[in-house]
Structures are given as C-alpha cells and as structure tokens.
Amino acid sequence: MEKRGKLIIVEGIDGSGKSTQLHLLEKWLAFKGVNVFKSEWNSSEMVKEITSKGKKKGLLTPTTFSLLHATDFADRYERNISPLLRAGYFVLADRFVYTAFARDIVRGCNPAWVKKVYDFAVKPDVAFYFKVPVDIAVDRILIGRPKLKYYEAGMDMNLSNDPYESYRIFQGRIIEQYDSLAESEGFTIIDGTLNIEEQQNIVRKKIMPLLENLKPTRIRTRR
Amino acid sequence: MTRDKYKNLGTRTVEFYGHGIKNLQDTEVKGRLIVIEGPDASGRSTQIQSITTRLEADGHAVLNTGLKRSELVGKGILEAKENFSLGKKTLALYYAADFADQFEYKIIPALQAGYIVLADRYIYTLIARNLARGLDKTWCHNLYGFAIKPDIVFYLDVEPTVLIHRVFQKNSTLDYYESGADMGLSNDMYESFLIYQKRVSQEFYLMQKRYGLIPINGNRSMLEIHNDLQKRIDSFLRRVGHK
C-alpha cells in the first residue's frame, strides 16, 4: 500500500487517559487544517451488533473473542483506515492491533497466531503508550463503582469471583503485555500520571515533525 | 488415565494444524471427524444426508456441521453479505469466527462424546475462497491453525461447466459470491462464475497434498458418488476399528 497520510495510535489500559489525549490531538490537528480521521476500537457498526450479542450471552471463547475483534478491526481497516491513509489523512486510532495482542495473549491465544492474524495492518508512524500504574488507572475507572461488563472485567478467565478484583488482575496482566511490546514495537511512552496539559505537550512535540512537509490540500478545479 | 488410553484403542489426542487452542491441547477424543468439501450445488448436502442416514442405521451417533451455522455469527454473516459492503479480509475473519464457534462448541464436544462428526465443509473451502480472492497464503493458513486435523477429507471435484448446470437446476440464478462477482472478474456473471470456480478448484488442487484431501469425481450421478463415498467411509471406519 502506498501511504501518503500518517497513522498515529494510542494504547494503554482503561483509565490511562489515552482517549483524552487523542481527543486533544485531534482538535489541534483539525485547528491546523490537517485532514484528520479518528477510529475507535470495536466500533464497526456491522460487527458490533454480533459482538455484543455474543458478549451478552457469555458465549465467547478466547478464539472467537479474538476473531470477532479482528473482524471489527479489519472492517474499519479496509473501509476507513487504509483508504484514508492513501488519501493523505492523519488517521488517529484509539487502540490499535496492540490492544488485541495484549488482551488475546492474556486470554491464552497463541501470540504468534494473533500477530499473524493482524499482520495486514501497517505499522503506525507514532504509537503512544500511556503508562499508568495499575492501581491509579483502576481507581480512576472504579471510583464510581460502575457495573463492569463480564468480558471487560475478565470474568471469563476465572481470575476471581469478584468482578472488581478480577478487573484489577486482568488490567495488571495487560500492562505486562504492553510493557513487553513497548520496546519491540517502538512505543513512545508517556507518563500517564502527569497533568493533562503536560502530556499533551509531549504528544504534540512528537507529532510536530510529521507536519513539516505537509501542504494544505487544495482542491484543483478544471477551468 | 494413561492406562485407559491403551485399553480404549479408539481414544486419541487431537492434532492441530497450527498452534491450536491452549485449553484444548491435550483433548482426547473418541469420535471421528469426516469432512466433505466441494462447491455449492456439487451435491454435498444430499450426500451428507444419505451418509448420515446410513451411519445412523449402522448405530453410530452422527453430528452434522456446516458453514454459517454458528449460534454466534451465522445469521450475522448472511445479513452482512446482503449488504455487499464487507471487505475480503473482514469477511474472511467473520467466517473464521463462525467456524471457531462451531468448532469449540459443537465439533470438539461431539468428538469427545464419541460421535461421528460429518462436516458439510470445513476450513478448506474457506481457505480456498480467501486464496482465490488474493489474500496472503501464509495468512490464510495461519488463520485456521486452531483447527484440528480431520480423520478423513473428501473433495467433490466438479467441472465448472458441469457445476453451472447443477446450479441452474437448483436455483436458476447464480449466487453473487459463488460467482466471484465481488472480484470484478468479468461483467458477465456466467463468465465470472466459470473463472471463479476454476480458481477455487485450482486452490483445492494445490491444497490436496498439504491437507491430504481425497478427490472424488463429482461429475457422476448422485447415486454413483454416494456409493463411492459410502464405500470409502465404511472401509475407513473398518480400518480404524470404529465401532
């Protein structure tokens, strides 16, 4: 695929603040007149309905869980991410293939298998990893005692009978996976305990060089 | 436990094509997995029906499985295909999810319980379709690395020109995907069907060795094909001493 646009992705566990940072980055890029498109994990309309049905019934195995999320990703990739990158867009992805690697591997899928399933995806130009100690992130999420969903809490893995405890253990294991991916995948690690503004500054500084050769897209008209 | 293995000769540990599934690694099965592959309108379903009847008459417990039949996504795929909007990788993964669901919830438990699982297509059709659509070969094979190796796989090999007549006898129209119409092979559906089926059959031919598929001449009459298949299945069951 010849790619003219840029792919920027954020990773991190729930409550790491990655979505907030991506949102601010999106606003900044749009303000600068850059063509931006944002894509969120598990958001393909076509696939979501089925995934959520399966989740409600608690029917998913690690393999089907993995494959349904891969289907969702492929749909967004084939219809949005890939064509928009070719068209020169800045594509911002809230979670990318690394989320699948981390979650699926924690659930017991074979790492080599999962990585191969997703190997059609291009490597991001920048991959931010918002690193937060598990307790801080989990506290941010659990502060309102929200009702955790079955798979969200990792209840399918029999980590604990208590959803909150299960969630904590699950998130801890995901962090281990992220940490082991960080080096091999060249993540830009951001300290997610810093102030929102501080973090955003670091993010923007990292993105700045990508904007240098960017010419405003002008629609050419025939006279 | 290990002693029982020798006492009960029919019990085997499953063998995967690739990495397999972690919690199924040491699964022991008593049943047999028999697969019949072949294009649409090749007479597969008719054959499966009559073989099932025969096997049941002989006292075997039989489970039939097929594609697009999972609780989880079977219906979803049908709906999605009506929209013609899914990309080829998306569709490939969708089918894999459907297969995986049936594989884990139907095929494996039935084999553990000693059933003969008669599969109306397995991973090979799915792989062949994906390859015919130009998806990466290693990717396609890796995708189904979680599947176990069947005991025996038959492939109904039908000439595309013969096949098209069977399709018309059955439906009087050509199916969009089965004609490869999503691939832009030709503006003419008839032409497109022939090109596409030829490609799929080539992919099957290439897979024959790798997966040990047994080609069955599908250009013959239903009865002839049935007798051939039944004979082979009977002798297979005798050979392995499946009672």
| CATH architecture, range A6-207 | 3-Layer(aba) Sandwich (3.40)
**Looking at residue B80, what is its pLDDT?**
72
Q: What is the mean pLDDT of residues B142-150?
A: 97
**Looking at residue A58, what is its pLDDT?**
74
pTM of the model: 0.90
Note whether B136 contacts A75, CB cutoff 8 Å: no
- The answer to whether B78 contacts chain A (CB < 8 Å) is no
Q: What is the mean pLDDT of residues B92-111?
A: 95
**Looking at residue A46, what is its pLDDT?**
77
Q: Give contacts of A46 with chain B, Cβ < 8 Å.
A: 80, 83, 85-86, 90
User: Is residue B90 scored above 90 in pLDDT?
Assistant: yes
Query: What's the farthest any 2 CA atoms get from each other in chain A?
Result: 70
User: Is residue B5 scored above 70 in pLDDT?
Assistant: no
Q: What are phi and psi of A2, to 5 degrees?
A: -85, 125
Q: Tokens 């129209």 appear where?
A: B173
* Domain edges within chain A: 6-207
**Looking at residue B206, what is its pLDDT?**
93
* Mean pLDDT of all residues belonging to chain A: 92
- The answer to whether B134 contacts chain A (CB < 8 Å) is no
Enumerate residues 6+ apart whose C-beta is below 8 A from B68.
Answer: B74, B77, B78, B95, B98
Distance from CA of B178 to the nearest CA of A (A): 21
* Mean pLDDT of all residues belonging to chain B: 91
Q: Is A16 helix (H, G, I), strand (E, B) or coil?
A: coil
Domains and their CATH numbers in chain B: 16-237 (3.40.50.300)
User: Is residue A172 scored above 60 in pLDDT?
Assistant: yes
Q: What is the mean pLDDT of residues A57-76?
A: 92
User: Is residue A100 scored above 90 in pLDDT?
Assistant: yes
* CA dihedral sign, ordered A74, A75, A81, A86: positive
Distance from CA of B73 to the nearest CA of A (A): 6
| CA nearest neighbour of B118 among B68, B65, B74 | B65
| CA nearest neighbour of A96 among A67, A113, A76 | A76
In angstroms, rounded to a whole number, what is the distance separating the alpha carbons of residues A173 and A168?
Answer: 9
**Looking at residue B2, what is its pLDDT?**
45
- The answer to whether B82 contacts chain A (CB < 8 Å) is no
**Looking at residue B1, what is its pLDDT?**
42
